[in-house]
Structure 1
Protein backbone atom coordinates (compact mmCIF):
# COMPACT_ATOMS: atom_id res chain seq x y z
CA UNK A 1 0.00 0.00 0.00
CA UNK A 2 1.57 3.27 -1.14
CA UNK A 3 0.68 6.79 -0.06
CA UNK A 4 1.46 8.87 -3.14
CA UNK A 5 -0.09 11.79 -1.28
CA UNK A 6 -1.74 12.36 2.08
CA UNK A 7 -1.53 10.02 5.07
CA UNK A 8 -2.74 6.45 5.61
CA UNK A 9 -3.27 4.64 8.89
CA UNK A 10 -2.96 0.87 8.59
CA UNK A 11 -4.00 -1.21 11.59
CA UNK A 12 -3.40 -4.90 12.27
CA UNK A 13 -3.44 -6.99 15.42
CA UNK A 14 0.25 -6.10 15.81
CA UNK A 15 -0.40 -2.37 16.01
CA UNK A 16 -0.89 0.69 13.81
CA UNK A 17 1.36 2.08 11.11
CA UNK A 18 1.04 5.68 10.01
CA UNK A 19 2.09 5.99 6.40
CA UNK A 20 2.85 9.54 5.23
CA UNK A 21 3.45 10.47 1.61
CA UNK A 22 6.13 8.53 -0.26
CA UNK A 23 6.12 5.62 2.18
CA UNK A 24 5.11 2.04 1.50
CA UNK A 25 3.18 -0.03 4.03
CA UNK A 26 3.67 -3.77 3.66
CA UNK A 27 1.11 -6.14 5.17
CA UNK A 28 1.86 -9.86 4.74
CA UNK A 29 -0.78 -12.43 3.89
CA UNK A 30 -2.73 -13.67 6.90
CA UNK A 31 -2.90 -10.32 8.70
CA UNK A 32 -6.43 -8.98 8.95
CA UNK A 33 -6.13 -5.23 8.58
CA UNK A 34 -8.04 -2.05 7.98
CA UNK A 35 -6.84 1.28 6.70
CA UNK A 36 -8.03 4.85 6.79
CA UNK A 37 -7.04 7.85 4.71
CA UNK A 38 -6.52 11.26 6.27
CA UNK A 39 -6.58 14.47 4.30
CA UNK A 40 -6.41 14.62 0.50
CA UNK A 41 -5.00 11.13 -0.02
CA UNK A 42 -3.81 9.31 -3.13
CA UNK A 43 -3.67 5.61 -2.22
CA UNK A 44 -2.19 2.92 -4.46
CA UNK A 45 -2.42 -0.81 -3.71
CA UNK A 46 -0.26 -3.55 -5.23
CA UNK A 47 -0.45 -7.27 -4.45
CA UNK A 48 2.57 -9.58 -4.49
CA UNK A 49 2.65 -13.20 -5.51
CA UNK A 50 3.65 -15.69 -2.76
CA UNK A 51 7.08 -16.18 -4.34
CA UNK A 52 7.82 -12.44 -4.19
CA UNK A 53 6.18 -11.94 -0.79
CA UNK A 54 8.68 -14.39 0.71
CA UNK A 55 11.45 -11.91 -0.10
CA UNK A 56 10.13 -9.15 2.17
CA UNK A 57 9.46 -9.20 5.95
CA UNK A 58 6.89 -11.61 7.36
CA UNK A 59 5.49 -8.84 9.57
CA UNK A 60 3.87 -5.45 8.92
CA UNK A 61 6.46 -2.80 8.05
CA UNK A 62 6.79 0.68 6.55
CA UNK A 63 9.50 1.59 4.04
CA UNK A 64 10.71 4.81 2.49
CA UNK A 65 10.05 4.61 -1.25
CA UNK A 66 13.05 5.26 -3.46
CA UNK A 67 12.60 7.27 -6.64
CA UNK A 68 12.59 4.06 -8.67
CA UNK A 69 10.13 2.31 -6.33
CA UNK A 70 7.81 5.31 -6.55
CA UNK A 71 7.81 5.27 -10.36
CA UNK A 72 7.21 1.50 -10.44
CA UNK A 73 4.29 1.82 -8.03
CA UNK A 74 2.75 4.62 -10.06
CA UNK A 75 3.22 2.60 -13.24
CA UNK A 76 1.66 -0.52 -11.74
CA UNK A 77 -1.40 1.46 -10.62
CA UNK A 78 -1.56 4.03 -13.43
CA UNK A 79 -3.86 4.42 -16.47
CA UNK A 80 -2.39 1.43 -18.31
CA UNK A 81 -4.02 -0.77 -15.68
CA UNK A 82 -7.60 0.53 -15.91
CA UNK A 83 -8.00 2.68 -19.06
CA UNK A 84 -9.30 0.67 -22.01
CA UNK A 85 -7.77 3.22 -24.39
CA UNK A 86 -4.26 2.72 -22.98
CA UNK A 87 -2.03 -0.18 -23.93
CA UNK A 88 -1.75 -2.38 -20.86
CA UNK A 89 1.32 -4.13 -19.51
CA UNK A 90 1.84 -7.72 -20.51
CA UNK A 91 1.99 -10.35 -17.78
CA UNK A 92 5.77 -10.65 -18.17
CA UNK A 93 6.21 -6.86 -18.01
CA UNK A 94 4.16 -6.65 -14.80
CA UNK A 95 6.17 -9.51 -13.36
CA UNK A 96 9.42 -7.66 -14.07
CA UNK A 97 8.10 -4.45 -12.55
CA UNK A 98 6.99 -6.27 -9.40
CA UNK A 99 10.42 -7.85 -9.11
CA UNK A 100 12.06 -4.42 -9.34
CA UNK A 101 9.69 -3.13 -6.66
CA UNK A 102 10.54 -5.97 -4.29
CA UNK A 103 14.28 -5.48 -4.84
CA UNK A 104 13.89 -1.78 -4.06
CA UNK A 105 11.94 -2.54 -0.87
CA UNK A 106 14.62 -4.99 0.25
CA UNK A 107 17.17 -2.19 0.00
CA UNK A 108 14.92 0.54 1.43
CA UNK A 109 15.34 1.79 5.01
CA UNK A 110 12.55 0.61 7.27
CA UNK A 111 10.74 3.52 8.89
CA UNK A 112 10.05 3.71 12.66
CA UNK A 113 6.37 4.36 11.97
CA UNK A 114 4.83 1.21 13.39
CA UNK A 115 3.28 1.70 16.81
CA UNK A 116 2.99 -1.72 18.48
CA UNK A 117 -0.31 -2.64 20.10
CA UNK A 118 -0.08 -3.64 23.78
CA UNK A 119 -1.48 -7.00 24.84
CA UNK A 120 -1.22 -6.62 28.62
CA UNK A 121 -4.40 -5.14 30.11
CA UNK A 122 -2.43 -2.54 32.08
CA UNK A 123 -0.62 -1.27 29.02
CA UNK A 124 -3.83 -1.34 27.02
CA UNK A 125 -5.44 0.92 29.63
CA UNK A 126 -2.58 3.41 29.31
CA UNK A 127 -2.70 3.23 25.51
CA UNK A 128 -6.43 3.96 25.55
CA UNK A 129 -5.89 7.07 27.70
CA UNK A 130 -3.11 8.44 25.51
CA UNK A 131 -4.83 7.66 22.20
CA UNK A 132 -7.87 9.61 23.39
CA UNK A 133 -5.82 12.49 24.81
CA UNK A 134 -2.34 12.57 23.21
CA UNK A 135 -1.67 15.93 24.91
CA UNK A 136 -1.88 14.28 28.35
CA UNK A 137 1.50 14.87 30.00
CA UNK A 138 0.96 12.54 32.94
CA UNK A 139 4.10 10.66 33.97
CA UNK A 140 4.27 6.88 33.94
CA UNK A 141 4.02 6.96 37.73
CA UNK A 142 0.83 9.04 37.57
CA UNK A 143 -0.67 6.80 34.92
CA UNK A 144 0.29 3.76 36.98
CA UNK A 145 -1.58 5.11 39.99
CA UNK A 146 -4.65 5.67 37.84
CA UNK A 147 -4.72 2.05 36.65
CA UNK A 148 -3.24 0.37 39.74
CA UNK A 149 0.24 -0.65 38.59
CA UNK A 150 3.73 0.27 39.75
CA UNK A 151 6.17 2.29 37.66
CA UNK A 152 8.70 -0.56 37.72
CA UNK A 153 6.16 -3.07 36.45
CA UNK A 154 4.97 -0.79 33.66
CA UNK A 155 8.51 0.07 32.59
CA UNK A 156 9.34 -3.64 32.37
CA UNK A 157 6.20 -4.33 30.35
CA UNK A 158 6.97 -1.57 27.86
CA UNK A 159 10.49 -2.91 27.32
CA UNK A 160 9.59 -6.61 27.18
CA UNK A 161 6.29 -6.43 25.30
CA UNK A 162 6.69 -3.41 23.04
CA UNK A 163 10.47 -3.24 22.72
CA UNK A 164 10.71 0.42 23.71
CA UNK A 165 10.49 2.71 26.70
CA UNK A 166 7.30 4.48 27.73
CA UNK A 167 8.80 7.78 26.58
CA UNK A 168 9.68 6.36 23.15
CA UNK A 169 6.24 4.81 22.72
CA UNK A 170 4.38 7.98 23.72
CA UNK A 171 6.57 10.11 21.45
CA UNK A 172 5.81 7.83 18.51
CA UNK A 173 2.10 7.90 19.32
CA UNK A 174 2.18 11.69 19.36
CA UNK A 175 3.98 11.84 16.02
CA UNK A 176 1.29 9.54 14.61
CA UNK A 177 -1.38 11.99 15.76
CA UNK A 178 0.67 14.90 14.43
CA UNK A 179 0.85 13.39 10.94
CA UNK A 180 -2.93 13.11 10.88
CA UNK A 181 -3.40 16.71 12.01
CA UNK A 182 -0.88 18.02 9.48
CA UNK A 183 -2.65 16.05 6.72
CA UNK A 184 -5.91 17.68 7.76
CA UNK A 185 -4.39 21.14 7.32
CA UNK A 186 -3.34 22.17 10.83
CA UNK A 187 -0.19 24.25 11.17
CA UNK A 188 2.94 23.27 13.10
CA UNK A 189 2.22 25.31 16.23
CA UNK A 190 -1.35 24.12 16.67
CA UNK A 191 -0.29 20.53 16.01
CA UNK A 192 2.54 20.73 18.56
CA UNK A 193 0.26 21.84 21.39
CA UNK A 194 -2.55 19.45 20.42
CA UNK A 195 -0.14 16.52 20.66
CA UNK A 196 1.36 17.43 24.02
CA UNK A 197 4.55 19.34 23.29
CA UNK A 198 5.25 22.35 25.48
CA UNK A 199 6.57 24.33 22.51
CA UNK A 200 6.87 23.94 18.73
CA UNK A 201 10.66 23.51 18.81
CA UNK A 202 10.40 20.31 20.85
CA UNK A 203 7.79 18.99 18.44
CA UNK A 204 9.91 19.86 15.41
CA UNK A 205 12.91 18.03 16.89
CA UNK A 206 10.92 14.86 17.69
CA UNK A 207 9.08 14.91 14.35
CA UNK A 208 12.31 15.36 12.39
CA UNK A 209 14.00 12.52 14.28
CA UNK A 210 11.24 10.05 13.34
CA UNK A 211 10.06 11.30 9.93
CA UNK A 212 13.36 12.62 8.61
CA UNK A 213 12.19 16.14 7.81
CA UNK A 214 10.61 19.07 9.65
CA UNK A 215 6.80 19.37 9.88
CA UNK A 216 6.87 22.47 7.67
CA UNK A 217 8.96 20.83 4.96
CA UNK A 218 6.86 17.69 5.21
CA UNK A 219 3.64 19.65 4.61
CA UNK A 220 5.18 21.58 1.70
CA UNK A 221 6.70 18.49 0.14
CA UNK A 222 3.49 16.49 0.52
CA UNK A 223 1.51 19.17 -1.26
CA UNK A 224 4.01 19.66 -4.07
CA UNK A 225 4.73 16.00 -4.85
CA UNK A 226 1.17 14.66 -4.98
CA UNK A 227 0.56 13.27 -8.51
CA UNK A 228 -2.25 14.73 -10.59
CA UNK A 229 -3.62 11.29 -11.52
CA UNK A 230 -5.52 9.76 -8.60
CA UNK A 231 -6.96 6.36 -9.45
CA UNK A 232 -6.58 5.20 -5.85
CA UNK A 233 -7.98 8.32 -4.21
CA UNK A 234 -10.22 7.68 -1.20
CA UNK A 235 -12.26 10.13 0.90
CA UNK A 236 -10.97 10.79 4.45
CA UNK A 237 -13.77 8.75 6.01
CA UNK A 238 -13.11 5.65 3.92
CA UNK A 239 -12.21 2.56 5.93
CA UNK A 240 -11.81 -0.76 4.22
CA UNK A 241 -10.90 -4.10 5.75
CA UNK A 242 -9.50 -7.11 3.97
CA UNK A 243 -7.63 -10.28 4.77
CA UNK A 244 -4.77 -10.71 2.35
Structure 2
Protein backbone atom coordinates (compact mmCIF):
# COMPACT_ATOMS: atom_id res chain seq x y z
CA UNK A 1 0.00 0.00 0.00
CA UNK A 2 1.24 3.51 -0.82
CA UNK A 3 0.75 6.52 1.39
CA UNK A 4 0.26 9.51 -0.90
CA UNK A 5 1.01 12.92 0.55
CA UNK A 6 0.03 15.19 -2.35
CA UNK A 7 -2.33 17.09 -0.10
CA UNK A 8 0.61 18.46 1.89
CA UNK A 9 2.03 19.97 -1.33
CA UNK A 10 -1.08 21.24 -3.08
CA UNK A 11 -4.71 21.35 -1.95
CA UNK A 12 -6.01 20.31 -5.38
CA UNK A 13 -4.74 18.05 -8.14
CA UNK A 14 -5.23 17.13 -11.78
CA UNK A 15 -4.40 13.62 -13.05
CA UNK A 16 -4.73 12.76 -16.73
CA UNK A 17 -5.24 9.00 -17.00
CA UNK A 18 -5.25 6.85 -20.11
CA UNK A 19 -7.82 4.18 -20.85
CA UNK A 20 -7.63 1.34 -18.28
CA UNK A 21 -4.84 3.13 -16.38
CA UNK A 22 -4.87 2.33 -12.67
CA UNK A 23 -3.34 3.92 -9.62
CA UNK A 24 -1.73 1.72 -6.95
CA UNK A 25 -3.69 1.08 -3.76
CA UNK A 26 -3.11 4.04 -1.47
CA UNK A 27 -4.51 6.24 1.28
CA UNK A 28 -4.64 9.98 1.94
CA UNK A 29 -4.48 11.78 5.26
CA UNK A 30 -7.37 14.01 4.15
CA UNK A 31 -10.78 13.14 2.79
CA UNK A 32 -11.14 14.13 -0.85
CA UNK A 33 -13.53 14.45 -3.75
CA UNK A 34 -12.57 12.83 -7.04
CA UNK A 35 -14.28 14.21 -10.12
CA UNK A 36 -13.90 12.85 -13.68
CA UNK A 37 -14.20 16.04 -15.74
CA UNK A 38 -14.01 13.75 -18.76
CA UNK A 39 -14.15 9.97 -19.00
CA UNK A 40 -15.37 7.48 -16.41
CA UNK A 41 -13.67 6.65 -13.13
CA UNK A 42 -13.90 3.62 -10.85
CA UNK A 43 -13.01 3.67 -7.18
CA UNK A 44 -11.99 0.16 -6.14
CA UNK A 45 -11.74 -1.01 -2.52
CA UNK A 46 -11.84 -4.29 -0.64
CA UNK A 47 -15.53 -3.65 0.05
CA UNK A 48 -16.56 -3.16 -3.56
CA UNK A 49 -16.39 -0.62 -6.33
CA UNK A 50 -17.98 2.72 -7.08
CA UNK A 51 -18.23 4.11 -10.60
CA UNK A 52 -18.59 7.73 -11.63
CA UNK A 53 -19.29 9.22 -15.06
CA UNK A 54 -18.82 12.94 -15.61
CA UNK A 55 -22.09 13.88 -13.89
CA UNK A 56 -21.00 12.22 -10.64
CA UNK A 57 -18.24 12.74 -8.08
CA UNK A 58 -16.65 10.16 -5.76
CA UNK A 59 -16.15 10.95 -2.09
CA UNK A 60 -13.27 9.15 -0.34
CA UNK A 61 -12.89 9.61 3.45
CA UNK A 62 -9.47 10.09 5.04
CA UNK A 63 -7.24 7.02 5.50
CA UNK A 64 -9.50 4.82 3.36
CA UNK A 65 -7.43 2.46 1.22
CA UNK A 66 -8.45 2.64 -2.44
CA UNK A 67 -7.31 2.76 -6.02
CA UNK A 68 -8.65 4.38 -9.17
CA UNK A 69 -9.22 2.95 -12.63
CA UNK A 70 -9.92 5.04 -15.72
CA UNK A 71 -12.32 3.95 -18.43
CA UNK A 72 -11.50 5.95 -21.51
CA UNK A 73 -9.16 8.93 -21.39
CA UNK A 74 -10.03 10.51 -18.04
CA UNK A 75 -9.34 13.97 -16.64
CA UNK A 76 -9.38 13.26 -12.89
CA UNK A 77 -9.72 16.25 -10.57
CA UNK A 78 -9.01 15.87 -6.84
CA UNK A 79 -10.24 18.31 -4.20
CA UNK A 80 -9.00 17.70 -0.66
CA UNK A 81 -11.17 18.75 2.29
CA UNK A 82 -10.02 19.72 5.79
CA UNK A 83 -11.49 17.60 8.55
CA UNK A 84 -13.90 20.34 9.61
CA UNK A 85 -15.51 20.33 6.15
CA UNK A 86 -15.37 16.57 5.61
CA UNK A 87 -17.78 15.96 8.50
CA UNK A 88 -20.57 17.35 6.31
CA UNK A 89 -20.32 14.27 4.08
CA UNK A 90 -20.98 10.59 4.76
CA UNK A 91 -18.30 8.62 6.69
CA UNK A 92 -17.81 6.05 3.92
CA UNK A 93 -16.96 6.13 0.20
CA UNK A 94 -19.86 7.22 -1.95
CA UNK A 95 -20.88 8.45 -5.37
CA UNK A 96 -22.61 11.81 -5.24
CA UNK A 97 -24.55 13.56 -7.99
CA UNK A 98 -22.84 16.74 -9.04
CA UNK A 99 -24.57 19.94 -10.13
CA UNK A 100 -23.50 22.56 -12.70
CA UNK A 101 -22.43 24.86 -9.86
CA UNK A 102 -20.46 22.14 -8.06
CA UNK A 103 -18.80 21.14 -11.33
CA UNK A 104 -17.67 24.70 -12.06
CA UNK A 105 -16.40 25.14 -8.49
CA UNK A 106 -14.36 21.92 -8.71
CA UNK A 107 -12.93 22.92 -12.08
CA UNK A 108 -12.03 26.34 -10.65
CA UNK A 109 -10.36 24.75 -7.61
CA UNK A 110 -8.25 22.51 -9.84
CA UNK A 111 -7.58 25.11 -12.53
CA UNK A 112 -4.34 26.99 -13.19
CA UNK A 113 -5.25 30.14 -11.25
CA UNK A 114 -3.49 30.52 -7.90
CA UNK A 115 -6.01 31.36 -5.20
CA UNK A 116 -5.82 32.83 -1.74
CA UNK A 117 -6.78 30.52 1.12
CA UNK A 118 -10.06 32.36 1.69
CA UNK A 119 -11.08 31.99 -1.96
CA UNK A 120 -10.25 28.28 -1.92
CA UNK A 121 -12.30 27.73 1.24
CA UNK A 122 -15.31 29.54 -0.20
CA UNK A 123 -15.25 27.36 -3.30
CA UNK A 124 -14.92 24.21 -1.20
CA UNK A 125 -17.95 25.24 0.83
CA UNK A 126 -19.94 25.76 -2.36
CA UNK A 127 -19.03 22.24 -3.51
CA UNK A 128 -19.97 20.69 -0.17
CA UNK A 129 -23.26 22.59 -0.02
CA UNK A 130 -24.21 21.42 -3.51
CA UNK A 131 -23.17 17.79 -3.02
CA UNK A 132 -24.82 17.52 0.39
CA UNK A 133 -28.12 18.48 -1.22
CA UNK A 134 -27.95 15.86 -4.00
CA UNK A 135 -27.38 12.87 -1.71
CA UNK A 136 -25.69 9.52 -2.20
CA UNK A 137 -26.24 7.82 -5.56
CA UNK A 138 -26.83 4.09 -6.21
CA UNK A 139 -23.66 3.40 -8.20
CA UNK A 140 -21.92 1.22 -5.63
CA UNK A 141 -21.33 -2.46 -6.32
CA UNK A 142 -20.58 -4.23 -3.01
CA UNK A 143 -17.99 -7.00 -3.02
CA UNK A 144 -19.17 -10.15 -1.19
CA UNK A 145 -16.71 -12.24 0.81
CA UNK A 146 -18.45 -15.60 1.26
CA UNK A 147 -16.87 -18.20 -1.05
CA UNK A 148 -20.27 -19.31 -2.35
CA UNK A 149 -21.29 -15.77 -3.21
CA UNK A 150 -17.95 -15.10 -4.87
CA UNK A 151 -18.47 -18.18 -7.04
CA UNK A 152 -21.95 -16.97 -7.98
CA UNK A 153 -20.84 -13.43 -8.79
CA UNK A 154 -18.02 -14.76 -10.94
CA UNK A 155 -20.48 -16.85 -12.96
CA UNK A 156 -22.77 -13.85 -13.43
CA UNK A 157 -19.91 -11.54 -14.45
CA UNK A 158 -18.62 -14.04 -17.01
CA UNK A 159 -21.86 -13.94 -19.01
CA UNK A 160 -24.34 -11.13 -18.39
CA UNK A 161 -25.93 -11.59 -21.80
CA UNK A 162 -27.82 -14.72 -20.67
CA UNK A 163 -29.44 -14.13 -17.26
CA UNK A 164 -29.53 -17.25 -15.06
CA UNK A 165 -31.79 -17.71 -12.03
CA UNK A 166 -30.35 -17.76 -8.54
CA UNK A 167 -31.67 -21.30 -8.12
CA UNK A 168 -29.65 -22.48 -11.14
CA UNK A 169 -26.56 -20.62 -9.95
CA UNK A 170 -26.97 -22.21 -6.55
CA UNK A 171 -27.11 -25.64 -8.16
CA UNK A 172 -23.81 -24.91 -9.92
CA UNK A 173 -21.99 -23.79 -6.77
CA UNK A 174 -23.57 -26.23 -4.34
CA UNK A 175 -25.78 -23.90 -2.30
CA UNK A 176 -29.53 -23.50 -2.00
CA UNK A 177 -31.37 -20.50 -3.42
CA UNK A 178 -32.59 -19.64 0.07
CA UNK A 179 -29.05 -19.64 1.48
CA UNK A 180 -27.74 -17.49 -1.34
CA UNK A 181 -30.63 -15.04 -1.01
CA UNK A 182 -29.90 -14.64 2.69
CA UNK A 183 -26.17 -14.20 2.06
CA UNK A 184 -26.70 -11.58 -0.66
CA UNK A 185 -28.85 -9.50 1.66
CA UNK A 186 -26.47 -10.01 4.56
CA UNK A 187 -23.21 -9.21 2.74
CA UNK A 188 -24.24 -6.66 0.13
CA UNK A 189 -27.40 -5.12 1.55
CA UNK A 190 -29.11 -6.00 -1.75
CA UNK A 191 -31.20 -8.76 -3.17
CA UNK A 192 -29.61 -10.83 -5.91
CA UNK A 193 -31.74 -9.07 -8.53
CA UNK A 194 -30.69 -5.64 -7.25
CA UNK A 195 -27.02 -6.62 -7.22
CA UNK A 196 -27.20 -8.01 -10.75
CA UNK A 197 -29.01 -4.90 -12.02
CA UNK A 198 -26.27 -2.73 -10.50
CA UNK A 199 -23.59 -4.89 -12.13
CA UNK A 200 -25.31 -4.62 -15.51
CA UNK A 201 -25.36 -0.82 -15.33
CA UNK A 202 -21.70 -0.77 -14.26
CA UNK A 203 -20.82 -2.95 -17.26
CA UNK A 204 -22.95 -0.79 -19.55
CA UNK A 205 -21.13 2.36 -18.44
CA UNK A 206 -17.84 0.79 -19.44
CA UNK A 207 -19.06 -0.62 -22.76
CA UNK A 208 -20.58 2.71 -23.78
CA UNK A 209 -17.32 4.42 -22.83
CA UNK A 210 -15.55 1.99 -25.18
CA UNK A 211 -17.79 3.16 -28.02
CA UNK A 212 -20.19 0.21 -28.15
CA UNK A 213 -23.65 1.06 -29.49
CA UNK A 214 -26.67 1.31 -27.18
CA UNK A 215 -28.26 -1.69 -28.91
CA UNK A 216 -25.18 -3.92 -28.56
CA UNK A 217 -24.59 -2.78 -24.98
CA UNK A 218 -28.16 -3.72 -24.03
CA UNK A 219 -27.71 -7.18 -25.54
CA UNK A 220 -24.30 -7.84 -23.97
CA UNK A 221 -25.47 -6.74 -20.53
CA UNK A 222 -28.55 -8.94 -20.53
CA UNK A 223 -31.50 -6.67 -21.32
CA UNK A 224 -34.23 -8.19 -23.47
CA UNK A 225 -34.62 -4.98 -25.48
CA UNK A 226 -33.02 -1.52 -25.74
CA UNK A 227 -36.08 0.19 -24.27
CA UNK A 228 -35.83 -1.59 -20.90
CA UNK A 229 -32.07 -0.94 -20.88
CA UNK A 230 -32.58 2.78 -21.46
CA UNK A 231 -35.09 2.99 -18.60
CA UNK A 232 -32.88 1.09 -16.14
CA UNK A 233 -29.75 3.01 -17.12
CA UNK A 234 -31.41 6.42 -16.94
CA UNK A 235 -32.90 5.73 -13.50
CA UNK A 236 -29.45 4.97 -12.03
CA UNK A 237 -27.13 7.26 -14.00
CA UNK A 238 -29.38 10.28 -14.38
CA UNK A 239 -29.13 10.48 -18.18
CA UNK A 240 -29.92 8.25 -21.11
CA UNK A 241 -27.23 5.96 -22.57
CA UNK A 242 -27.08 8.13 -25.68
CA UNK A 243 -26.60 11.37 -23.75
CA UNK A 244 -24.06 9.70 -21.49
CA UNK A 245 -22.07 8.55 -24.52
CA UNK A 246 -22.21 12.04 -26.05
CA UNK A 247 -20.90 13.52 -22.78
CA UNK A 248 -17.71 11.48 -23.11
CA UNK A 249 -16.68 13.03 -26.42
Shared fold, TM over 0.5: yes
Distance in 1, Cα, partners of 2:235 & 2:104: 26
1:160 pairs with 2:193: no
How do residues 74-223 of structure 1 correspond to structure 2 at under 5 angstroms?
74-80=107-113, 88-223=114-249
Task: Please state which structure has a larger fraction of its residues in strand.
Answer: 2
The superposition leaves residues 210-242 of structure 1 with CA deviations (integer Å, 9 ceiling, x where unpaired) of 11222112212343xxxxxxxxxxxxxxxxxxx
RMSD, aligned α-carbons? 1.4
Among residues 53, 56, 64, which one is paired with 1:20 in the alignment?
Answer: 53
State the TM-score, normalized to the length of structure 2.
0.83
Report 1 or 2 for greater relative contact order, CA contacts < 8 Å, sequence distance ≥ 6.
Answer: 1
Moved over 4 A (4+): none
Q: CA deviation at 1:47?
A: 1.2
Distance in 1, Cα, partners of 2:125 & 2:239: 29
State the TM-score, normalized to the length of structure 1.
0.84
How do residues 31-46 of structure 1 correspond to structure 2 at under 5 angstroms?
31-46=64-79
Q: Which moved more, 1:59-68 or 1:197-206?
A: 197-206
Distance in 2, Cα, partners of 1:128 & 1:26: 27
Q: CA deviation at 1:161?
A: 2.0
Structure 1 SS opposite 2:81: coil
Q: CA deviation at 1:202?
A: 2.1
* Long gaps (5+) in structure 1: 81-87, 224-244
Distance in 2, Cα, partners of 1:106 & 1:163: 23
